Chain A
Amino acid sequence: MPLPAETDASTPKYLRDKYAIIGVGETTYTRGSGKTTRALGTWAVRNAIEDAGLKVSDIDGVLSYQSGDSTFGPVIAGDLGIRLNFYMDVFGGGSSTEALIGIAIGVIEAGMCRTVVIFRAMNGFSQVRIGGTGARSAAPVTGDMLHNRAYGWQSAGQQFSLTFMRHMYDYGTTPEQVAAVRVAHSAHASNNPKAYYRNRVTVEDVLASRIICKPLHLLDCCVETDNATAIVITRADRARDGRHPRTLIRAVAGRVCKPRADMHYQHGPIARVAGYHARDILWPNAGVGPEDIDVTGSYDAFTFTTMLQLEDYGFCKKGEGGQYVSDGTIRLGGRRPNNTSGGHLCEGYTHGMNMVIENVRQLRHTVDDTCPIGPDGKRRHTYDYREGGCRQVKTCELTANLGWANPGTGSAMVMRRD
């Protein structure tokens, strides 16, 4: 029997706005958590469930991502008394958050479970260091690694720098322009009591910090922290009575790859990143374009990654990213602020999930800055973005998260305020 036309699920638009993020939670962002990733994960997941106003029995799915540096989902579920109808632990770091949100939508849509919590728990400073130092750097070099690690080409910064350097060559991008990303994110972090680095820095500070691997200075690189983050996803029509306004998911894309995902540098232009391909999925499915977006969350493992993605997703012309990130656009008070929490450069490193959490709070208009809380329990945002002040964006209806694994792989998501 043919399906009625309105149930045609063959178009991705069928799911536009039908799923929502209804809870977000995290631990503190520290160096030296003094806890296992199991304890961190339990802490963040509990916070996200409580934020959603749900009972633990409302949760029946768990998704997580990791690189052998975390605790598996069923253990966290067991600790909290969640009985699972679905779980999956996925290998990977950056770009996982948005892609796993898409997977969560898929498994709920398939009727496999009703409500999914996604978490990322890591001791990125005190155990498996995200910068790749410590035990990771001394690991034996085997098989395919002979083509990279044997050349001292191992850390994320070392691997991505070939893309960054070529962008400067192709387009005349300057170190000063790229440093403006750190300047903007540090200003945002100064208004975020949770942020690990809350001091504002200048372009001169970035350029005077020591070179790690050209073109990266120390301050072009993100912070290594210990933390966990979690978000709760369910069908929007089941989420009308939550504690917060629903954050509706308009579209997800991920993990979208450039050709030759085994070694993406074989296929140029190498200054192009995966967003070039992901944008053709993201924008049509979202039914909006970059010009409609109020706040971006462009992954900042490095200053350059923010710039490259904003370019290839179409927020500016290819090659004009240096101008875009340094002309005030991405700062609070600018036309389209990026990573208002301070992001990975300043708030803490969670492989992208904290940037989704921040945008959920922006859309709810409940960003946790130091603005006074009124008698109704709601924060009275001042929109005064001076140091130590507000970081709520005044008009925030649509956000875009641009997740990054490497120059050849990325994920993205558009969310809107209900």
Chain B
Amino acid sequence: MAIKADYLGMPLSLDDLDVENVAYFRHCAAHEFHLQQCSACSLLRYPPTTACPWCMSPDARWVPVEGRGTVHSYSEVHHAIQPAFKAHTPYLILLVDLDTQKGTPSEHEALRVVGNLAAPDGKLAPPEAVLAVGIGTRVRMVFTDVAPGLALPQWTLDERAAQPEKPWRYPQE
């Protein structure tokens, strides 16, 4: 049965035919991060795809992947265009290099997973938390529950990790 849900007032939906995304978000709903691993070449990939971007194999299995990494780049949105986000500015869009498979299969590749900066409970982070995060910040994955079978992976500060003294932030605050 197709998933239809509401997140921050924004309608979300996922069709049954979209089996790759259904599987991805079902794992997220269980607060587990899983990615497809190619059955032929063993590389992990993100976001879900219908074949392996490295060897073209159609065969993959879902495997658990540790949700930890480093902020590779970000944007800080002050003028939200989507109605759902207008009450939550400024918010961060984070592009996070997972530790897993970083620099593989070539130097500049990584599993770069998008998410917002969130509180540990998965709610969008308040403005003061936004100021503490930049390129180099260590983050861990948390989940925002949306509906049965659908949660969004998000990022929060990794309290246990060694953080850079000062993460790189856009010079004009």
Quick check: B14 and A146 within 8 Å, CB to CB? yes
Interface string of B148-169 (1 = CB under 8 A from A): 0010100000000000000010
Residues on the A chain within 8 Å of B21, using CB:
143-144, 146
Given contacts A158-B77, A215-B170, contact A149 B15 (CB under 8 A): no
Q: What are 7 pairs between A and B in contact, CB < 8 Å?
A: A137-B82, A152-B88, A165-B170, A266-B53, A266-B111, A268-B108, A268-B110
Which of A6-14, A24-32, A204-212 makes up part of the contact surface?
Answer: A204-212
Q: For the complex, what is the distance from the CA of A250 to the CA of B170, rounded to whole Å?
A: 41
Taking CB atoms and an 8 Å cut-off, the chain B residues in 18-74 that contact chain A are 18, 21, 25, 45-47, 49, 53, 72-74
Residues on the A chain within 8 Å of B108, using CB:
267-269
10 shortest interchain CB distances as A-B pairs: A268-B108, A161-B75, A152-B85, A166-B73, A214-B76, A162-B73, A213-B77, A140-B11, A137-B81, A211-B78
Quick check: B14 and A132 within 8 Å, CB to CB? no
Q: For the complex, what is the distance from the CA of A98 to the CA of B49, rounded to whole Å?
A: 30
Q: For the complex, what is the distance from the CA of A250 to the CA of B111, rounded to whole Å?
A: 39
Given contacts A146-B14, A146-B25, A151-B115, contact A133 B81 (CB under 8 A): yes
Quick check: B73 and A165 within 8 Å, CB to CB? yes
Nearest B residue to A268, CB-CB? B108
Q: Which of A137, A210, A267 contacts B109 (CB 8 A)?
A: A267
Shortest distance between the CB of A147 and any CB in chain B (Å): 5
Give me the interface of A with B, judged by CB distance under 8 Å: 131-133, 137-138, 140-144, 146-155, 158, 161-163, 165-166, 168-169, 174-175, 207, 210-215, 259-260, 262-263, 265-270
Q: For the complex, what is the distance from the CA of A206 to the CA of B83, rounded to whole Å?
A: 26
Quick check: A151 and B93 within 8 Å, CB to CB? yes
Give me the interface of B with A, judged by CB distance under 8 Å: 7, 10-15, 18, 21, 25, 45-47, 49, 53, 72-85, 88, 91, 93, 95, 108-112, 114-116, 135, 150, 152, 168, 170-172
Q: For the complex, what is the distance from the CA of A175 to the CA of B82, rounded to whole Å?
A: 26
Quick check: B81 and A154 within 8 Å, CB to CB? yes
Quick check: B46 and A266 within 8 Å, CB to CB? yes
Residues on the B chain within 8 Å of A259, using CB:
53
Residues on the B chain within 8 Å of A162, using CB:
72-75, 93, 95
Quick check: B81 and A151 within 8 Å, CB to CB? no
Shortest distance between the CB of A145 and any CB in chain B (Å): 9
Nearest A residue to B173, CB-CB? A214
Quick check: B171 and A132 within 8 Å, CB to CB? no
Q: For the complex, what is the distance from the CA of A260 to the CA of B18, rounded to whole Å?
A: 20
Given contacts A143-B18, A144-B47, A268-B108, contact A211 B79 (CB under 8 A): yes
Quick check: A268 and B78 within 8 Å, CB to CB? no
Residues on the A chain within 8 Å of B25, using CB:
146
Nearest B residue to A259, CB-CB? B53
Q: For the complex, what is the distance from the CA of A148 to the CA of B75, rounded to whole Å?
A: 13
Nearest A residue to B4, CB-CB? A140
Q: Which of B15, B18, B49, B78 contacts A262 (CB 8 A)?
A: B49
Quick check: A268 and B95 within 8 Å, CB to CB? no
B18, B80, B152 — most chain A CB neighbours (10 Å): B80
Nearest A residue to B103, CB-CB? A268
Q: Which of A166, A175, A210, A263 contacts B135 (CB 8 A)?
A: A166
Q: Which of B75, B93, B109 contacts A266 (CB 8 A)?
A: B109
Given contacts A143-B18, A260-B53, contact A152 B79 (CB under 8 A): no
Q: Which of A147, A152, A158, A270 contacts B47 (CB 8 A)?
A: A147
Residues on the A chain within 8 Å of B116, using CB:
151-152
Quick check: B110 and A266 within 8 Å, CB to CB? yes
Shortest distance between the CB of B138 and any CB in chain A (Å): 16
Q: For the complex, what is the distance from the CA of A137 to the CA of B76, rounded to whole Å?
A: 18
B10, B11, B73, B170 — most chain A CB neighbours (10 Å): B73
Residues on the B chain within 8 Å of A151, using CB:
93, 114-116, 152
